[in-house]
Amino acid sequence: MAGRSVPFSIAVAFSDDPFGGNPAVVVFLDTSLPLEELGKIARNFNQPILVVVSPISLTPETEGVERRSIRFFTPNGDLEPPICGHGTLAAAKVVFDLPDVIAARKNVIHFETAFGKRLEATRMDDGWIEIEIPSTTPGDIDDEEKNKLKRYVDKAFGRDVKIKDIKTGGSVYEHCKSRSL
């Protein structure tokens, strides 16, 4: 990878203001690269999420549908969430704007995750993008973990934040693990 450049975009979800919404870096790379390497790239970009999308389409499914592999990484590079809503929206926008996707008039993207989930994005007639991601029932965490997370939130906001409850992402996120790089 050293010395090699790869195409990437910084896209914003939930806003048409380039300095609003939630930013995400979308990088077109082989999604089977090792976790450690992709984690280092996420740390280097230092954005809320790094979205790694396969540079070419997977085997076609049906006419009008683009299929790509997708993975997500947090900016510290040690966490790979199985799904990310704003990352999926950002990736969909970037992929829908690719010349070959435009030329093929594809209005649906099936993103295949490394965790066996399918995330679907549809370009609506009015230009908006709608996504479908798996739903889940939030899970409980122990008080020690809640206190740890509360300290992070307080530090991020610079004050004591009142939090009613903290939950896990449930079964959809059961594979989400921190790792040291």
Taking only the tens place, the pLDDT of each residue in 61-120 is 678 899 999 999 998 877 888 889 999 999 999 999 999 899 888 999 999 998 888 999
Q: Is the dihedral of CA 6, 10, 11, 16 positive or negative?
A: negative
pLDDT of residue 179: 40
Comparing 96 with 20, the larger pLDDT belongs to 96
Residue 2's pLDDT is: 58
* Domains by residue range for the chain, with CATH: 8-134 (3.10.310.10), 136-181 (no CATH)
Name the residue with tokens 């896990």: 168
How many CB atoms within 10 Å of residue 151? Answer: 10
Cβ(162)–Cβ(135) below 8 Å: no
Q: How sure is the predictor about 181, in pLDDT bands with cuts at 50, 70 and 90?
A: very low
Q: Which long-range contacts (CB under 8 A, 24 or more apart) does 100-109 make?
A: 101/66, 104/64, 104/66, 105/64, 106/64, 106/65, 106/66, 107/64, 108/64, 108/65, 108/66, 109/65, 109/66, 109/67, 109/68
